[in-house]
Amino acid sequence: MGVDSGLPDFRGNQGFWNAYPPFRKLGLSFVALANPRWFRDDPSLAWGFYGHRYNLYRATPPHDGFARLARWGAETEHGAFVFTSNVDGQFQRAGFAADRIVECHGTLDVWQCTRRCAAGPFPAPGRDVAVDLATFRAAAPLPACPACGALARPNVLMFGDDAWDGQRSVDQQRRLARWLAALDAAGAPLAIVECGAGTAVPTVRAFGEALAAETAADVDPHQRSRARRATRRHQRRRTRARRAGRDRRLPRARLTATAAGVKRSSHQVVVNQPAWTRLSK
Ligand SMILES: [Zn+2]
């Protein structure tokens, strides 16, 4: 989704380094940088990376695809719920209600204390982080916890991250569960609209598939078994590709098998993964 708003594509080292040339010189990939150790070992580098993204996400208006999804949601009786691993806050900026969004990997618009003091996550201050675009280092003073003054970090789940405060995401997921339960109680069918969820970080794809397999039961048993068979097929292909050491892009899971069974959809879940595929595909 984000790529269509003009946000950089982090797919592959070349794509990432084209957007962030100084990190090419340092030999640091996206995965290497998206690690909480930098907040301990080199805070100005850590905030150079996350601060630049924070500034960019704030300054980038969401593209028309977001408005279209919002319109689809608004036209249905029970509205829509977003499940995203994006951390760019674009759904909120596009006007989706904050209590109808799950950000399963957190967001750059909320920060937390690196010391995990009692303050808990807090809203980012809403002004740019000063980043030197030649070195991608953040200038002092670096963002700090308003309660204890220790270094702050984004409330974003990083690779190898055991210090992420995930409570906000848990609360969001509880709201989604309550919404799904309400739909179930009303006997209302569910449509899942998947935008760009890939297999590189498969959280969103897996969530969509599990939900499809589960809720298809209420629509049509035939559709349910089709969705389950498609999910199993997809998992087998993924396992084979992994065993063969192939990092190939797998075809989209057949969520359409479920969606096709929903003739009178009155609400939808939008599942979305960052910056990695285009809405139009
Ligand atoms: Zn603190």
Q: Write the pLDDT tens digit of every residue in 150-181.
A: 999 999 999 999 999 999 999 999 999 999 99
List of long-range contacts for 205-212, beta carbons under 8 Å, 24+ apart: 205/253, 205/271, 205/273, 207/83, 207/104, 207/271, 208/83, 208/253, 208/255, 208/269, 208/271, 209/234, 209/253, 209/255, 211/180, 211/269, 212/255, 212/257, 212/258
Q: How far, in Å, is the centroid of ligand 1 from the Cα of 55?
A: 23
The answer to whether the beta carbons of residues 89 and 59 sit under 8 Å apart is: no
Q: How far, in Å, is the centroid of ligand 1 from the Cα of 120?
A: 8
C-alpha 276/C-alpha 281 separation (Å) is 11
Q: How far, in Å, is the centroid of ligand 1 from the Cα of 113?
A: 4
Query: Residue ranges per domain, the chain?
Result: 2-272
Q: pLDDT tens for residues 121-152?
A: 999 999 999 999 989 999 999 999 999 999 99
Q: How far, in Å, is the centroid of ligand 1 from the Cα of 267?
A: 40
Q: Give the percent of the chain with pLDDT over 90.
A: 53
3-state secondary structure of 251: coil
pTM: 0.76
Q: How far, in Å, is the centroid of ligand 1 from the Cα of 121?
A: 9
C-alpha 129/C-alpha 198 separation (Å) is 30
Q: How far, in Å, is the centroid of ligand 1 from the Cα of 129?
A: 19
Which of 88, 243, 85 lies closest to 159 in space, CA to CA? 85
Q: How far, in Å, is the centroid of ligand 1 from the Cα of 106?
A: 18
Confidence class for position 204, pLDDT limits 50, 70, 90: confident
C-alpha 104/C-alpha 16 separation (Å) is 22
pLDDT value of position 239: 76
Q: How far, in Å, is the centroid of ligand 1 from the Cα of 6?
A: 34
